[in-house]
Amino acid sequence: MRDDVGAVATALDLSRQTIRTIKQNLFGAFFYNLLLIPVAAGVLYPVFHAVGGVPVSLEFFFGQQGFLNPVLAALAMAFSSVTVVSNSLRLRGAAIQSYTRA
């Protein structure tokens, strides 16, 4: 809270950046879940079953049955979380920059 009326414009700009970041994070999380949850649940199992099994080069990722390796799923989820947090932390820099500018 300041006596400067110009700070209102700064606050509005920061709020727009916040909404944009929230939308980016929601899109990223939605895209991740839309893509990897079905793979982890075994949507590729019928495909691998139809072609005679998981190719040897993909067994690390899908095992012998066609389900996503749980370790890789956990790493992908952790990467998704780190990405969301990192994207959100950009706002802190914008807020500090806005504060010092005003």
d(CA 12, CA 44): 46
**pLDDT over threshold 90, residue 97:** no
- Percentage helix, strand, coil for the chain under 3-state DSSP, each rounded to 5: 80, 0, 20
User: Which one-letter amino acid corresponds to residue 55?
Assistant: P
Q: How do the domains of the chain map onto residue ranges?
A: 6-101
Predicted structure pTM score = 0.71
Q: Are 31 and 83 in contact (CB under 8 A)?
A: no
Instruction: Quickly count: other Cβ atoms within 10 Å of residue 41's Cβ.
Output: 11
- What per-residue confidence (pLDDT) applies to 14? 87
Dump pLDDT digits (tens) for 29-81: 898 889 888 988 889 889 888 998 899 999 998 888 888 888 988 998 899 89
Closest Cα to residue 37, out of 67, 7, 12? 67
